[in-house]
Structure 1
Amino acid sequence: MHVGILGAGQLARMMAEAGGPLGLSFSFLDPSADACAGELGRLYVGQWDDSSALQALAECDRVTADFENVPAAVLARLAEQVAVRPPARAFAAGQDRLEEKALLEGLGIPVAPVAAVNTRPDLLAAVERIGLPAVLKTRRLGYDGKGQAVLESHEDLEPAWQRLGGQALILEGWIDFDFECAQTAVRSASGEVRCYPLTRTVHSDGILRLAASPAGVSAELAGQASAAVTTLLEALDYVGCLTLELFAAGSELIANEYAPRPHNSAHWTIEGAVTSQFENHLRAVCDLPLGSAAARGVALMFNWLGAMPERAKLLAVPGLAWHDYHKQPRPGRKVGHATLVAADQASLSEALEALKPLLDRDTAGLLGRLG
């Protein structure tokens, strides 16, 4: 079976790595000629609406995406000729933060207070209603902390408006959370849903840096997360993997956003789960039986940003798995990750003690936020 993927970044690369043993082959469409998945299949270089490239993808058996901002209209156009999974509507709702929040709230999934902001008077009215602190965000195209500004006082309003004004925005109430977490699940075309263990996440400057599973939460919180993601998957008639990002505040989980694709927070599943998120995504997309989402033990994932660390010393730590995305170094760019996997928490802690002195100061400092 031949799978077309819109986007050829590291997520597409890891899909292809997981799909090879299943007998799948791949074609990719990406605007970048050096997209890192291109080594593992046929790469078509062009914009998302490139007619000739889209026609080539339409000749595949299935089409999916590794990037949430592929225009939903392009996916809908492809769906007229080939099975596109997840469906275009899942991307359409997720590409507009106001629509996304309305969808989640309408499903009974708690979200932060939110208001549309298109003008300065809108911003003042939203601040009056929601209060400060709050976060001003673009409605479209923001990810990894881009397109947003934290407003702590009224003095922050004008600088934020100067930077973000002139486009559709939302103001979102600040959530005083205890920690962040992410729930990844997979749904088949027949409606079967399998949830991975909840993952605790640590971000810096809006970018994921660490992901630990299990998240170390109560059964009640874990149940809230799995129920919320299942409700969302069913409402979207979703096929494939999806991750719902959440804030934990006391005994409640509050949804931040969802990603209609495999997700950075679940990279630990490659070594740490019976079936990785990438393999299960492809199984769902290609109508193959879903694999188990159960954990093999405990796992901690490190995101490498900017440039890959020197690997020789790190690889000497027992249980460490290494992933180089074959991307050119660039400040802030996700270039790889490593996952530390152990049978139990005590064994993981022992391995982590050996790893800590080898980490850069910034990464080592973030470990304290895992609780």
Structure 2
Amino acid sequence: MSAPTLNPLHPGEWLGMLGGGQLGRMAVHAAQALGYRVAVLDPDRHSPAGAAADEHLQAGYDDAGALTQLASRCAAASTEFENVPAAALSRLAQDIDVAPAAIAVAVCQDRAAEKAHFQKAGVPCAPHAVLRGAADCAGVDPALLPGILKTARMGYDGKGQRRVNDAAELAAAFAELGGVTCVLEQRLPLAAELSVIVSRGVDGQMVTLPVQRNWHVNGILATTAVPAQGIAAELQAQAQQFAQSLAAEFGYVGVLCVEFFVLEDGRLLANEMAPRPHNSGHYSIDACSHSQFELQVRAMAQLPLPEPRLHSACVMLNLLGDLWFDAQGHRREPNWAAVLRLEGMHLHLYGKADPRPGRKMGHLTVTAPTAWEARGQALAAARVLGLPEDGLV
């Protein structure tokens, strides 16, 4: 059976976005640059995406009236975060194109289903067990300990996770997490963390961004560097192929991010997926010929997908709400002027009025002709702002 042909949406048509955060905001900007109008559905009156959109429907994601209104207005819709109810996407799909489909989002919402998808697509992941009750904890394979216990649903940025060393700690952590379904992963010696962003169209065409090397602090992404220095070309190609296999197995349409672990023995293991653009891909706005957000819009609008080209080496630094407070906890504005005096700085703030520790307030992408220069300039910016230097020294 031949692949579906593209039926591109014309400029001036409406696209829908479920979710009003910074990912939605950047997708709105990309859609508007291509001539589309965007309606955002989000309950927050002050949502960053809602402020940028042509229309903001202030309602819950499961609000039947709002979903009907969105479907009547828009020709296609997407989501900017994986915890939007999959049922809302299914409701929209009765009337308009939805990318990604509800089933893909539902799998990415559940770590147990996600692990099963990795295995079905032939992509290796960490040894693990699904724990649905105390009896499962008691009967767990001792080879999985020490391990990391993660709630199957609603965990992100290090939330819903506990390190456990033995059976007693596992039982205590399971109870502490509320006795909900969890996944226990064997703790493995890591050498590096990578991510790959793939975009797939309705016609099956797939393109990937360059492989991104990531560093985390307290479970939250701190730094992304591209090119992925220190990672063999063969391993990078394998990561891109695994990401494409996972998208193809879904029949996925849209942008998918797959995070990987590189083990000390050189093996590559899939960690988790996000059915949307990803924090680690924000650099693509300033360092690539086509950003992850443009690729998301193109997939939604059934436009051709160009192969993204990295035109500048870069380092992306996450800007968390901690920066807005001094050592005594007093509110202050970071010294943006001092940062912007440095060469190659691209500051993106998300329009969030209420900084809080750990809250993603923006990002800074540093571009340069070489990876060495980008790292040096990023280190200078990090020192001005008081950011962690993980991945830079």
Partner Cα distance (2:271, 2:372) in 1: 32
What does residue 118 of structure 2 align with?
A: 104
> How many pairs were matched up?
366
What does residue 319 of structure 1 align with?
A: 344
Give a deviation string over 1:185-238, Cα, whole Å, max 9, x none.
Answer: 111111111111100001111111111111121121011111101111111111
Residues 1:90 and 1:245: Cα distance change in structure 2 (over 3 Å): same
What does residue 27 of structure 2 align with?
A: 15
Partner secondary structure for residue 18 of structure 1: helix
Give a deviation string over 1:313-332, Cα, whole Å, max 9, x none.
Answer: 01111001000001121121
Partner Cα distance (1:289, 1:168) in 2: 40
What does residue 28 of structure 1 align with?
A: 40
Q: State the TM-score, normalizing by the size of structure 1.
A: 0.95
Give a deviation string over 1:121-175, Cα, whole Å, max 9, x none.
Answer: 211222x344321011111111111111111234523441232133111211112
2:92 to 46, 56, 78: 78
What does residue 65 of structure 1 align with?
A: 79
> How much does 1:292 deviate?
3.1
CA contact (8 A) 1:175 1:247 kept: no
Residues 1:353 and 1:203: Cα distance change in structure 2 (over 3 Å): closer
> How much does 1:353 deviate?
5.1
Is 1:359 paired with 2:373?
no
Residues 1:300 and 1:220: Cα distance change in structure 2 (over 3 Å): same
Partner Cα distance (1:311, 1:159) in 2: 45
Residues 1:352 and 1:49: Cα distance change in structure 2 (over 3 Å): closer
The AA in structure 2 aligned to 1:110 is P
CA-atom RMSD in angstroms: 1.5
Residues 1:318 and 1:366: Cα distance change in structure 2 (over 3 Å): same
Partner Cα distance (2:120, 2:378) in 1: 42
2:201 to 184, 188, 195: 188
What does residue 331 of structure 2 align with?
A: none
Q: State the TM-score, normalizing by the size of structure 2.
A: 0.90
Partner Cα distance (1:53, 1:3) in 2: 14
> How much does 1:18 deviate?
1.4
Is 1:46 paired with 2:71?
no
Partner Cα distance (2:223, 2:382) in 1: 13
> How much does 1:350 deviate?
4.2
2:154 to 141, 155, 170: 141
2:269 to 254, 260, 270: 254
Is 1:287 paired with 2:302?
yes
1:340 to 348, 366, 378: 366
The AA in structure 2 aligned to 1:277 is Q
Write out aligned runs for 1:207-286 (5 A): 207-216=220-229, 217-249=231-263, 250-286=265-301
Is 1:173 paired with 2:189?
no
Partner Cα distance (1:353, 1:233) in 2: 35
Give a deviation string over 1:229-255, Cα, whole Å, max 9, x none.
Answer: 111111111111111000011322100
Moved more, 128-137 or 227-236: 128-137
Partner Cα distance (1:336, 1:154) in 2: 40
> How much does 1:95 deviate?
1.1
Moved more, 269-278 or 170-179: 170-179
What does residue 169 of structure 2 align with?
A: 156
Moved more, 316-325 or 72-81: 72-81
CA contact (8 A) 1:123 1:171 kept: no
> How much does 1:365 deviate?
4.8
The AA in structure 2 aligned to 1:339 is T
2:356 to 290, 307, 330: 330
Is 1:90 paired with 2:116?
no
Give a deviation string over 1:104-128, Cα, whole Å, max 9, x none.
Answer: 01211011111121222211222x3
Residues 1:10 and 1:352: Cα distance change in structure 2 (over 3 Å): closer
> How much does 1:300 deviate?
0.4
Instruction: Give percent identity, aligned residues only.
Output: 39
Tell me which stretches of 4 or more aligned residues in structure 1 moved more than 4 Å: none
Partner Cα distance (2:155, 2:369) in 1: 37
> How much does 1:347 deviate?
2.8
Partner secondary structure for residue 343 of structure 2: coil
